[in-house]
Amino acid sequence: MAGQQRYLRYIVFALAIILLFFISSSSSVPSAQWPSYKGDQSAVADPTTNKPAAPLAGADKDSTATTPNTQNGLPPATAGGERMNATFVTLARNSDIWDIAESIRHIEDRFNRKFHYDWVFLNDDDFNDEFKKITTALVSGTAKYGKIPKEHWSFPDFIDQDRAAKVREEMKEKKIIYGDSISYRHMCRYESGFFFRHPLMLDYEWYWRVEPSVKLFCDIDYDTFKFMADHKKKYSFTLSLYEYVETIPTLWDAVKNFTSVYPQHVVDGNSMKWISEDDGKTYNHCHFWSNFEIGNLNWLRSQAYIDYFTSLDHAGGFFYERWGDAPVHSIAAALMLKKEEIHFFNDIAYYHVPFTHCPTGEQYRLDHKCSCNPKDNFDWNGYSCTARFYEINGMDKPAGYEKEQ
């Protein structure tokens, strides 16, 4: 009887072992014994054609199949080296949350996940918890939230409210984009003259402006802030174009008034030729598109820039017309910086509706894993001022630019 029981116990034990073997071998979690793609080059698809790749001549079959393509990629997980005193800065409303989330993802994936620079968010209202929770989670540096003081986002007392209201009505009838908007005007004035003076921004020397729903199309494998510092740059752009004349009819008159009162703020060797075809008599409406900017905050906080902004502000055009911060910043950079202090970031592939800057040159685009269509590149289009920037600076246009015209 005892022998029979022992026999039964052995059978149960053996069945349990067999059962365990089946469970472990059918598990979906790969084990250490998971078969590798060892040497089987044909199993790996070529991402450009989606066809099986041909084995690489002389390559180590064991490693090429699974080694990620990191050639010319971003620097290591966290880039070492000197850090700059820099931050991203975004002006936004709570309702912009998902559009700014998209922009942050692009900037982080293509650049900041390696550098972890801070991000300052500014708003004329309080940011709500949802906005803060989502953006904090997305930013790899420290996210900071600031409220704009009322006096930086309201009508100055020297503005005639009735006159401003009449202008908005007229612009609405003429169907000028944002022509009837009060908040858009506060936004343009704030970006022109105040964001760099917000208490949160005073801690930094460099900024990169980011707007909702922008995209980056290529890896940026170096520190752009350090590049600016090392090369003595103060302002930069990716896209340039002609401003909508109806929004700035008297801006150039206000600029000329400023330069006559403060001739000392206009520097020798500036970019006047970029913004005027007649040595300053008239403005040709070229401007850097300021929804993207990497720049130096100390320049914007300098006496020269503050005098410039204050002078323009008193001319009233932020409210009696619809002056944008793009021509305001651009004219300042063109007149108050030396030519060499303005940088065109050909390598930052960028989109803000409706224009794209896609770097000219196929090899660059391949090396930096760019996903933009070169046909969308705006640079060599007749409505862009970038060719003019190359010409006045005596720069050679990138090889192949003619094909993109």
Ligand X SMILES: Nc1nc2c(ncn2[C@@H]2O[C@H](COP(=O)(O)OP(=O)(O)OP(=O)(O)O)[C@@H](O)[C@H]2O)c(=O)[nH]1
If you count them, how many residues does the chain have? 405
In angstroms, the CA 113 to CA 257 distance is 45
The number of residues that bind ligand X (CB under 6 A) is: 13
State how beta strands 240-242 and 355-357 pair: unpaired
**Residue 372 near residue 219, CB atoms below 8 Å:** no
Query: In this chain, which stretch among 84-92, 218-226, 245-253, 383-391 interacts with ligand X, using CB under 6 A?
Result: 84-92
In angstroms, the CA 393 to CA 122 distance is 35
In angstroms, the CA 295 to CA 229 distance is 10
* Residue from 179, 193, 212, 327 in contact with ligand X (CB under 6 A): 212
99 binds Mg ion (CB under 5 A): no
DSSP 41: G
**Residue 46 near residue 53, CB atoms below 8 Å:** yes
The nearest distance, CB 291 to Mg ion, in angstroms, is 5
* Residue from 65, 91, 275, 312 in contact with ligand X (CB under 6 A): 91
- b/e string for 338-367 if b means 16 or more Cβ within 10 A? ebebbbbbbbbbbbbeebbbbbbbeebbee
89 binds ligand X (CB under 6 A): no
Query: Per CB under 6 A, which of residues 23..82 are in contact with ligand X?
Result: none
307 binds Mg ion (CB under 5 A): no
Q: What, of ligand X, Mg ion, none, does residue 205 touch, CB below 5 to 8 Å by kind?
A: none
Query: In this chain, which stretch among 89-97, 132-140, 232-240, 280-288 interacts with ligand X, using CB under 6 A?
Result: 89-97
Burial class (CB in 10 A: 0-12, 13-18, 19+), 267: middle
Q: Which is nearer to ligand X, 87 or 270 (CB)?
A: 87
Catalytic residue from among 108, 293, 321, 341? 293
Query: Per CB under 6 A, which of residues 339..358 are in contact with ligand X?
Result: 353
**Residue 111 near residue 88, CB atoms below 8 Å:** no
151, two tokens: 């006096």
The nearest distance, CB 224 to ligand X, in angstroms, is 19
Query: Per CB under 5 A, which of residues 201..240 are in contact with Mg ion?
Result: 211
In angstroms, the CA 45 to CA 129 distance is 45
293 carries an active-site annotation? yes
93 binds ligand X (CB under 6 A): yes
Q: What, of Mg ion, ligand X, none, does residue 124 touch, CB below 5 to 8 Å by kind?
A: ligand X
The nearest distance, CB 336 to ligand X, in angstroms, is 23
Q: What, of Mg ion, ligand X, none, does residue 367 touch, CB below 5 to 8 Å by kind?
A: none
In angstroms, the CA 226 to CA 223 distance is 5
291 binds ligand X (CB under 6 A): yes
Chain residues that interact with Mg ion, rule: CB under 5 A: 211, 291
Catalytic residues: 293
Chain residues that interact with ligand X, rule: CB under 6 A: 90-93, 96, 123-124, 183, 187, 211-212, 291, 353
